[in-house]
Chains A and B, each alone.
Chain A
């Protein structure tokens, strides 16, 4: 009991309206309210944020880096998903 640590939380901050929340780091907190309060005190001391998300680290599911090949490389060969793949005759505008 005495050795039990507070759980680890990942902190995400929206730096201003219009931007998405971005991961900034982690911290320890016993419960969700405390995690939000601590995130405010630790990660927004210089007005870095307008909104905070906290997620218990244990609940984050990550992709496996050794699987990076099968997961991400197939996308490299699909150049047709990018606009530069297509030829547009010279002189054509607004495309």
Chain B
């Protein structure tokens, strides 16, 4: 009896998804759907938060007042985006701090790109142009995700993020208009960021275990390889136009398909970084953990004060 009931519920759920009716927090949803969302949204949130760190690394060294303010505002947006996403996670009955603890224990993942170091000012440009560019490719379809709160958070994120890519590209363009040292700085930075940026779309479709189910649930709308191809197709001409060389000897426009063919990603490196052996995995997680630990007494104090005051107000009334 109960099993039949569950089957009906599951069928109704899929039917709603197929008809593009959004799923809202208190609606019935299969357990696996809920778990997938909690995993994906919290990973996404963690990526925003950890993603603050590589750029924060240059806030105090930004070259002029305008760049300093823009960079700060951008990193702040990322914190905001993390918060919107954690809000969406909490609508699924998961606790924000629990998911953060999973990040700190290494149980939860975040985008591997943030495990690469920022070694020059040009990296601020590359992150905006390539990393935010890739993120936008991933995120725009998520605005139509079947889960209402996630979709709404993504609408907000995408709207705010449109300046992120532009500010990054502007930094790169400025370098390419500059001196020989500046051009070299830009090219050297692109050489380091290009492949990790392509890795942001995840494993090839054949090796992506979640893709099929996520597409059926309309959490995902395009496969990893489709998105990666879209990214390469729009980015390569941008690079050429400003005089940068993409570090891929196999890169070539394919007249037949109308797309760029490109070389094979170093999947060993990809999996090594996912497993925690990237250049900055240890530092990134340690920095987040330290922020939480150092902030403990502050959060406790605010709680204690709120309690005291509530008690006093009660007495007074």
Contact = CB atoms under 8 A, between A and B. Distances in A.
5 nearest A-B residue pairs (beta carbon): A30-B302, A31-B306, A26-B87, A25-B87, A30-B306
A66 B13 CA distance: 12
A5 B292 CA distance: 12
Given A64-B26, A65-B27, 4 more contacts: A1-B303, A8-B90, A25-B153, A42-B83
A31 B153 contact: no
A2 B87 contact: no
A16 to B, nearest CB: 17
Contacts of B96: 5, 28
Nearest to B9: A66
B299 interface: yes
B97 interface: yes
Contacts, number: 47
B267 interface: no
Given A30-B306, A31-B306, A5 B95 contact: yes
Contacts of A65: 24, 26-28
Instruction: Please tell me the size bucket of the interface on B.
Output: 20 to 34
7 contacts: A1-B300, A5-B96, A6-B302, A25-B83, A25-B84, A26-B90, A31-B302
The prevalent SS among residues of A at the interface is: loop
Interface of A: 1-2, 4-6, 8, 25-28, 30-31, 34, 42, 45-46, 62, 64-66
Interface of B: 24, 26-28, 76-77, 80, 83-84, 87, 90, 95-97, 153, 156, 160, 296, 299-300, 302-303, 305-306, 309
A34 B301 CA distance: 13
A30 to B, nearest CB: 3
B300 A2 contact: yes
Nearest to A4: B303
Instruction: Count chain A CB atoms within 10 A of each CB in B26, B77, B160 and give the residue with the most.
Output: B26
B105 to A, nearest CB: 15
Nearest to A10: B87
A66 B28 contact: yes
A1 B304 CA distance: 9
